[in-house]
Amino acid sequence: MKKIIPALALLCLFTTTKTSAQFGKLKDALNTGAASLINNKQLKLLQNNPITTNFDDCNKADIMPPSFGADSVKKQLCSIKSQYSAEEGFTLKPGFYTGTFKSFCLQAGTSGPDKGNGYLYAPLVGPKEKIANMLIANWEQHPEIEQRKVQLLLWAIVAKTNFSKLSPDLQLTAAKLLNKNDLSSLGSTMIDYLSGEAMSKLTANLPEPAKTIIEIENKIRGLMYQANASFDQIESLAMLGGIAPADPNFPGGVWGLHPDGYYVKYLPHSYSRTEVVIYVPQKAGTVKYLPVGDVAVPASRGCQRLGQSNLLVCEAE
């Protein structure tokens, strides 16, 4: 009997050690699986774009060449500004019109507009479409707010920034333009700034340009959370250098049909200024033109999408 006990003890020790090793491997597997699951969820969150408007949303069938109406007399919208109303916009009879409006970049990590790329109309859409639209629309009633500050708030939305962590100055601006429910929804985001190492692991298998855009949005979030970050720093991240390749099927100055029955072409001077030329056909009759909610979308996906405002530029600023 004395000889049997050590044998049993040895057997128990072997079994315990083996089981412990198995549980250790299982624990490692569970930890790895949990980390992978968390990473996947985090990556999906990073890829979930607040503003989704893109060239797929454009009417690419009803277009006219840039040369259409080249010799026509175009009425300046500034000359009929007195007929404008914030509720309905401009009332336009058949003919040609032109005006330059203040506009906004709605896609960080892309190149600025250039004359070679054609732009078509698309509606502002996406999970945060209503909030972005409200920011731009309500800005019309607050001339004391600089355009730069509204642009920063739009970049904050695009970059999935937690508004409760913005600088006091930007939070005050947001409070003037948005209601409490919107501010609350923008302050409950789960996305924070991630280290370069963490971003590299998360985006390792992503194709371009998705990888670059997500990484740039992360850097924008990091700057947004710094009270002393400047507009120029954030702008330099949001705007890539160089010119995006043009699509020969949609050259600069191409005309597109708006759902309201008129044709429009966009000639961006920069992301913050867009010249708009409008042609109202006889069959369309009288139309209303209210730009807010419209997006000038480039045929090249590497260029910035331009959200239009109602603010007409009638003199050098």
| More confident position, 33 or 81 | 81
Query: Do both 105 and 18 map to the same domain?
Result: no
Same-domain status, 280 and 224: yes
Q: Mean pLDDT across the chain, nearest whole number? A: 86
Asked if residue 253 and residue 295 are part of one domain, the reply reads yes
- Would you place residue 21 in the very low, low, confident or very high pLDDT band (cuts 50, 70, 90)? very low
| Pairwise CA distance, residues 295 & 302, whole Å | 15
Same domain, 25 and 133: no
Q: To the nearest whole percent, how much of the chain has pLDDT over 70?
A: 85
Are 36 and 149 members of one domain?
no
Do residues 306 and 295 make contact, with C-beta atoms less than 8 angstroms apart? yes
Lowest mean pLDDT among 23-32, 148-157, 186-195: 23-32
- 37 and 59 co-located in one domain: no
More confident residue, 195 or 178: 178
At 27 the pLDDT is 38
Whether residues 86 and 194 fall in one domain: yes
Between 47 and 246, residue with greater pLDDT: 246
| Segment 257-273, tens digit of pLDDT | 999 999 999 999 999 99
Task: Find the mean pLDDT for residues 130-159.
Answer: 96
25 and 57 in a single domain? The answer is no
Q: In this structure, are 39 and 52 located in the same domain? A: no
On whether both 72 and 35 belong to a single domain, the answer is no
Same domain assignment for residues 32 and 100:
no
Tens of pLDDT, residues 168-178: 999 999 999 99
Question: Are residues 80 and 149 located together in one domain of the fold?
Answer: yes
> What confidence tens digit (pLDDT) does each residue in 206-220 have?
888 788 888 999 999
Last residue of a domain, one of 31, 47, 63: 47
- Split at pLDDT 50, 70, 90, the class of 190 is low
The residue behind tokens 């409490």 is 180
Nearest CA among 133, 125, 131, 126 for reference residue 185: 131
> Of 9, 31, 47, which residue is a domain's last?
47
Question: For residue 14, is pLDDT > 70?
Answer: no
Please determine, for residue 65, whether its predicted confidence score (pLDDT) is greater than 90: yes
Higher pLDDT, 104 or 212: 104
Does 22 score more than 70 pLDDT?
A: no
pLDDT score of 305:
95
Query: What percent of the chain stands above pLDDT 90?
Result: 64
Tell me which residue range forms the domain holding 35.
Answer: 1-47
Q: Is the pLDDT of residue 195 over 90?
A: no
**Full-model pTM:** 0.84
Helix axes 231-238, 147-158, angle to 10 degrees: 50
Number of domains in the chain: 2
> In this structure, what are the phi and psi dihedrals at residue 131, rounded to the nearest 5 degrees?
-70, -45
d(CA 92, CA 28): 68
Question: What pLDDT does 210 receive?
Answer: 81
CA dist 90 to 98, 133, 143, 161, 311, Å? 12, 19, 20, 35, 12
